[in-house]
Amino acid sequence: MNKRHYGQAVFAGTAAMLLAAASSVAEPLQRIGSPEGVVDIVAWPGYIERGQTDKNFDWVTGFESKTGCKVRIKTAGTSDEMVALMNEGGFDLVTASGDASLRLIAGKRVQEVNTDLIPSWNTVDKRLQNAPWHTVDGKHYGVPYQWGSNVLMYNTKIFKQAPSSWKIVFEAQNLPDGKPNKGRVQAFDGPIYIADAALYLMHHKPALGIKDPYELNEDQYKAALSLLREQRRIVNRYWHDPFIQIDDFTNEGVVASSAWPFQVNLLRSKDQPVASVVPVEGATGWADTTMMHVDAPHPNCAYLWMEHSINPKLQGDLAAWFGSVPVVLSACKGNKLLGDQGCDVNGLGNFERIHFWKTPRSKCTSQDQCVPYYRWVTDYIAVLGGR
């Protein structure tokens, strides 16, 4: 999708959110009937594996054999792509992050979930069961899936010690090898990345008074955009495809960037010299929810998948593969792929340090008025275009 149509699709999704009520038009399913034979899921890359990349990571084949529901995946690289796809329809489920989930609820693109049809619901981490990004007026609009942080990934040959700050990707400077960072750092290709700039400013320019990186007044917002325009001068690529970023770190001389733990894990599995850190400023992050389309064509298979998605084996295997944290904490022990220290390594203890993605709204809680998301979309596209 090119930038122009991408922006139009996101703007349309945001407009729908602002105009619609926060309740779905569909009543939740009351009983699970005969499986329809297929379930269509919009998911982040690497989130639903069937052993094609690594035979050890497969949580699809067994589900298909047990239920008769063939799993079909459409990957999306940003939350805005997910919103656009769900607006188009034809899908059953989406693994939505917090900057998409409330838009999908308010835009009536997803339906309330009957948790009585999810037998393992009570095994979900209590911190996430009623999380505000999928719970509205006491109604649940999805099943938590995984969570994690947007880490600072770096080349260990260049950085003998872990960098302590996001400064190395935001401000022009020489890196420890004596060479400039220009052309060797990356940033995320999504409007929500404005929050990363705001988080950096929270720490380094406290006089701006930023309390929440997703709730910015005009002055705070202008400061974040100014920082991003300066960053534009040094950025090699704005990434959203993790596999392209992996290639850039392997072959194109990129040495530092925001990233998901997924890229870190894959690069390290290939013996590449990379590591990651959550710097002193903290990090943004994602807490993802499997949500069901209001017009899901295969609701019975969808419910069977939502239950399957929170079994401890899948949760542990996925956390090992993606570098994320399970929403079922029992998955943190006894999983051969994850290991008993895997959840700690993946950031289980960072929950309070993460500013989870959420949709910026004009009506905010930390101050009187904030810049709404539709402006984040248009202004970030302008930043990427050098304007």
Average pLDDT, integer, range 111-118 = 97
Round to whole Å and give the CA distance between 305 and 75. Answer: 17
pLDDT at 26: 64
- pLDDT tens digits for 58-104? 999 999 999 999 999 999 988 999 999 999 999 999 999 999 999 99
Full set of structural domains in the chain with CATH = 3-148+285-356 (3.40.190.10), 150-284+360-384 (3.40.190.10)
Question: Confidence class of residue 42 from pLDDT cuts 50, 70 and 90?
Answer: very high
Question: Chain-centre distance of CA 91, in angstroms?
Answer: 19
- pLDDT tens digits for 265-297? 899 999 999 999 999 999 999 999 999 999 999
- pLDDT tens digits for 358-384? 999 999 999 999 999 999 999 999 999
Round to whole Å and give the CA distance between 234 and 75. Answer: 29
Q: Which two tokens mark 113?
A: 């979930």
Round to whole Å and give the CA distance between 252 and 248. Answer: 5
Cα angle at 44 between 21 and 247, to 5 degrees? 145
Percent of the chain residues past pLDDT 70, beyond the cut = 93
Round to whole Å and give the CA distance between 293 and 138. Answer: 19
Residue 324: count other Cβ atoms within 10 Å of its Cβ: 29
Strands 185-188 and 235-239: parallel
Cα angle at 183 between 178 and 184, to 5 degrees? 60
- pLDDT tens digits for 128-183? 999 999 999 999 999 999 999 999 999 999 999 999 999 999 999 999 999 999 99
**Residue entry with tokens 């300066």:** 230
Does the structure show a pLDDT above 50 at 27?
yes
pLDDT at 386: 84
**Contact by Cβ (8 Å): 386, 232:** yes
**Contact by Cβ (8 Å): 151, 278:** yes
Round to whole Å and give the CA distance between 354 and 71. Answer: 32
Question: Confidence class of residue 13 from pLDDT cuts 50, 70 and 90?
Answer: very low
Round to whole Å and give the CA distance between 345 and 6. Answer: 36
Question: Confidence class of residue 7 from pLDDT cuts 50, 70 and 90?
Answer: very low
| Total residue count of the chain as it appears in this document | 387
Q: Write the secondary structure of 195-206 as one string of H (helix), E (strand) and C (coil).
A: HHHHHHHHHHCH
**Contact by Cβ (8 Å): 368, 379:** no
Question: Chain-centre distance of CA 161, in angstroms?
Answer: 27
Does the structure show a pLDDT above 80 at 25?
no
Round to whole Å and give the CA distance between 316 and 331. Answer: 5
Q: Which two tokens mark 371?
A: 């810049």
pLDDT at 345: 87
Round to whole Å and give the CA distance between 178 and 329. Answer: 44
Round to whole Å and give the CA distance between 190 and 208. Answer: 23
Round to whole Å and give the CA distance between 99 and 80. Answer: 9
Mean predicted lDDT score pLDDT of the chain: 92
pLDDT at 3: 35
Half-sphere exposure of 28 (CA within 13 A, CB side): 17
Round to whole Å and give the CA distance between 139 and 89. Answer: 22
H or E element: which one contains 144?
Answer: strand 143-149
Residue 26: count other Cβ atoms within 10 Å of its Cβ: 16
Does the structure show a pLDDT above 90 at 12?
no
Closest CA to 238 of 294, 293, 191: 191
Q: Is 265 helix (H, G, I), strand (E, B) or coil?
A: helix
Q: Which two tokens mark 134?
A: 């999928």
